[in-house]
Amino acid sequence: MKINIFALALASLAVMLGSYSEGQAQFKGKKRKNGYNSRKPLDNPFLKSQWWLGFRAGANLTEADPQERYSGFSPINYTTEENQKEYGGFEQLGGHAGLEITYYHKGFSFSFQPNYRRQRFLYSNSFLWSDENDASNRLELNYDQDHQLDYIEFPLFVKYDFTQNTFRPFVQVGVYYAILTSANKSVEVSGADFASGDLGPFENEEVIIGAEDLFINSSIGVAGGIGASYDVQNTRLVFDVTYRYGLNNVTDVQNRFSENQLAGIGDALDDIHLRNISFTFGLLFPLRFISKKYDAIN
């Protein structure tokens, strides 16, 4: 399944670039033979196509979806659920920026949008040690762990524009493949140590550790979203909201325990799939001008 989607992405990319080559040849051929404005403009299929190149940037929110849970602790006299991780849902703001190259033809577009993105997710868990004979013998610890995953992502979308006007709402679906470039996790420890005479909660300094070995390099998934573009002179402003649905476990299962510097506090990454909502603004430029009479927007 994963490989099929991956293959589909590659095939789509090849088709898109193939179309580009064909379009270029057609363009050059027409130019040599008759000139591109020799036919009635609206009937000319060449004029129904356009290439766009531009920049994209935005913010994103990520949630980790645990598929199978793991813990470094195996409790003797309490249940594992008592200190199980609680995941935050789309809480930590990340960012992304990249390029977009889009081939448009008759309302449909193939869009390749390579980008560098930081995705963040968090979870927390709590531990309690107490003494039923002495209430002052009590220690509460809470661990809040924020994960930052930096990826170079290669998404490929198929878009459909609902209108052919200046303002164009669209939907897009696609696939993505991302390569991990770095990963960190930060841990905040808080709690209450009544046994040491503490009367209230304490909060320790945040600890940041490298976590690259805890995640595999690849992340693949499918994506879908909605958006709209607005043409301003010969440029196009784009805004879209896209949901990414990860299809593979991004945790490195072989290093789950052996390379985890937080194993001593019982931490072990679950098998997780990433879910992400991205809000993106883009500014696109046409790669060719159709005529002096007709501007670049088709």
Partner 1 sequence: MINRYVFGLCALFVVSACDISENEVEPSESFLRIYDNNTFNSSFTPIDVQQTTDGGYLILGGTRVEDSDFWGVYLMKVDEQGLFISEENLSTEYVSPAKSLMNINGTFYFMAMTDISWQANLFALNDSGRVSTITPLPGRFYPMYCEADGETIIAQTYNNGSKNTNLALISTEGNILNDANFTIGDGDDTEEPIVTHFTRTGRQLPFFAGKVDNGLYYFNGFYDFTLSTIFTDLSGNNEDGVVGRLQGFRDEDGMSSAIHLGAGRFAGSRFSNGDNYILPGVDVNVTRLTDIPTTETFEGNPFPELVRDAPVVVKQITVDERNVVLYGSNTQSGQIVLLAYSSETGQLLGTKYLGFSNPYQLASFNSTEDGGLVVLGNTAVAGRFARFCLFKLSIDELRGFTE
Applying CB under 8 A, which residues contact partner 1?
2-3, 6, 10, 13-14, 17, 20-21, 72-78, 127-132, 134, 137-139, 141, 154, 177, 179, 195, 216-218, 220, 248-249, 251-254, 256-258, 260-266, 268
* Residue corresponding to tokens 């949630």: 63
How many whole angstroms separate alpha carbon 298 and alpha carbon 41? 11
Q: Which of residues 110 and 170 has its CB atom nearest to partner 1 in the complex?
A: 110
How many whole angstroms separate alpha carbon 153 and alpha carbon 167? 28
CB 213 within 8 A of CB 250: no
User: In this structure, what token pair is assigned to residue 139?
Assistant: 């220690």
Residues 6+ apart with CB under 8 A from 195: 136, 137, 138, 139
* Least gap, CB of 248 to partner 1 (angstroms): 5
* Least gap, CB of 180 to partner 1 (angstroms): 9
How many whole angstroms separate alpha carbon 151 and alpha carbon 124? 23
Q: Which of residues 168 and 273 has its CB atom nearest to partner 1 in the complex?
A: 273
* Least gap, CB of 110 to partner 1 (angstroms): 14
* Least gap, CB of 125 to partner 1 (angstroms): 12
CA 63 to chain centre: 10
* Least gap, CB of 133 to partner 1 (angstroms): 8
* Least gap, CB of 72 to partner 1 (angstroms): 6
The number of beta carbons lying within 10 Å of the beta carbon of residue 147 is: 22
User: 19: helix, coil or strand?
Assistant: helix
User: 173: helix, coil or strand?
Assistant: strand
Q: Which of residues 268 and 277 has its CB atom nearest to partner 1 in the complex?
A: 268
The number of beta carbons lying within 10 Å of the beta carbon of residue 44 is: 16
Q: Which of residues 245 and 281 has its CB atom nearest to partner 1 in the complex?
A: 245
Q: Which of residues 18 and 169 has its CB atom nearest to partner 1 in the complex?
A: 18
Q: Which of residues 47 and 180 has its CB atom nearest to partner 1 in the complex?
A: 180
